[in-house]
Structure 1
Amino acid sequence: MDPQLSIVVPAYNEAARIGPTLDRLLAYARSLPGGAEILVVDDGSTDGTGRLALEPAYREIRWLRLAENQGKGAALRAGVLASTGAEVLLCDADLSTPIEEYERLRPHLSDAGLVLGSRGVADSKITRRQPAYRELMGRLFNVVVRVVAVGGIRDTQCGFKLLRGDLARSLFADMQIDRFAFDVELVWLARRRGAVVREVGVAWHDSPASSVHALRDSARMLADVLKIRWRHRGEPNGPLRTP
Structure 2
Amino acid sequence: MLKPLSGRHSRRGVMEDTPFLSIIIPAYHEEQRLPRTLEILNGYLHRQTYSYELIVVDDGSSDESSRLMQQCMRQFGEQGLFLKNERNRGKGYSVRRGVLSSHGDYVLFSDADLSTPITEVEKLLGSLRQGYDIAIGSRGLKTSDIQVHQAWYRERMGKIFNRIARSLHLTKFSDTQCGFKCFRGDAARSLFPLQSLEGWSFDVEILFLAARRKYRIAEVPIQWFNEPNSRVNALTDAMKMFRDLLLIRYNAWSGKYD
Query: What stretches of structure 2 of length at least 5 have no aligned partner?
Result: 1-16
Answer whether contact 1:149 1:184 (CA < 8 A) is retained: no
Q: 1:4 aligns with which of 10, 20, 25?
A: 20
Q: Distance in 2 between matches of 1:156 and 1:18?
A: 24
For residue 52 of structure 2, what is the aligned residue in structure 1? Answer: 36
Percent identity over paired residues: 43
1:46 aligns with 2:62: yes
Question: How far apart are residue 53 of structure 1 and its match?
Answer: 3.8
Match 1:86 to one of 63, 81, 105: 105
Q: For 2:70 and 2:197, locate their aligned partners in 1 and report how far apart those are by CA, in whole Å.
A: 31
Post-superposition Cα deviations, 1:174-211, rounded to whole Å, max 9, x if no partner, equal: 10100000000010011111101110000001101111
Matches within 5 A, 1:24-173: 24-55=40-71, 58-60=74-76, 61-110=80-129, 111-173=131-193
Aligned to 1:238: none
1:230 aligns with 2:255: no
Name the amino acid aligned to 2:139. Answer: R
- Aligned equivalents of 2:72 and 2:158: distance in 1? 39
Once the two structures are superposed, residues 39-95 of structure 1 have per-residue CA deviations (whole angstroms, 9 ceiling, x without a partner) of: 000000011211024426634221000000000000000000000100000100000
TM-score, reference length from structure 2 = 0.88
Structure 1: give runs of 5+ residues left out of the alignment: 236-243
- Give the aligned residue type for 1:40: V
How far is 1:234 from its partner?
A: 8.1
Q: Residues 9 and 91 of structure 1 are in contact (CA less than 8 Å); yes or no, is this contact kept in structure 2?
A: yes
- Quick check: 157-166 or 225-234, which moved more? 225-234
Secondary structure at the aligned position of 1:214 is classed as coil
* Secondary structure of 1:2's aligned partner: coil
Please say if residues 38 and 73 of structure 2, whose CA atoms lie closer than 8 Å, have aligned partners that are also in contact.
Answer: no
List per-residue Cα deviations over 1:85-112 (Å, max 9, x = no partner). Answer: 0000010000000000001111111311
**Which range moves more in the overlay, 47-56 or 138-147?**
47-56
Task: Determine the C-alpha separation between the residues in 2 that align with 1:151 and 1:44.
Answer: 31
**1:123 is matched by which residue type in structure 2?**
T
Aligned-residue Cα RMSD (Å) equals: 1.4
Task: Judge conservation of contact 2:171–2:208 (CA < 8 Å) in 1.
Answer: no
Distance across 1 between alignment mates of 2:111 and 2:171: 25
1:219 maps to 2:232 = no
Contact 1:52–1:58 (CA<8 Å) still a contact in 2?
no
What is the SS of the residue equivalent to 2:136?
A: strand
Q: More displaced, 54-63 or 216-225?
A: 54-63
The 8 Å contact of residues 3 and 35 in structure 1, kept in 2 or not, is answered as: yes
Q: Note the C-alpha offset of 1:135.
A: 0.8
CA distance in 2, matches of 1:70, 1:57: 22
Kept in 2: contact 1:149–1:225 (CA 8 A): no
Tell whether the 8 Å contact from 1:73 to 1:177 is kept in structure 2 after alignment.
Answer: yes
Alignment-derived partner of residue 181 in structure 1: 201
In the comparison of the two structures, how many residue pairs are matched?
235
The CA deviation at 1:140 is 0.7
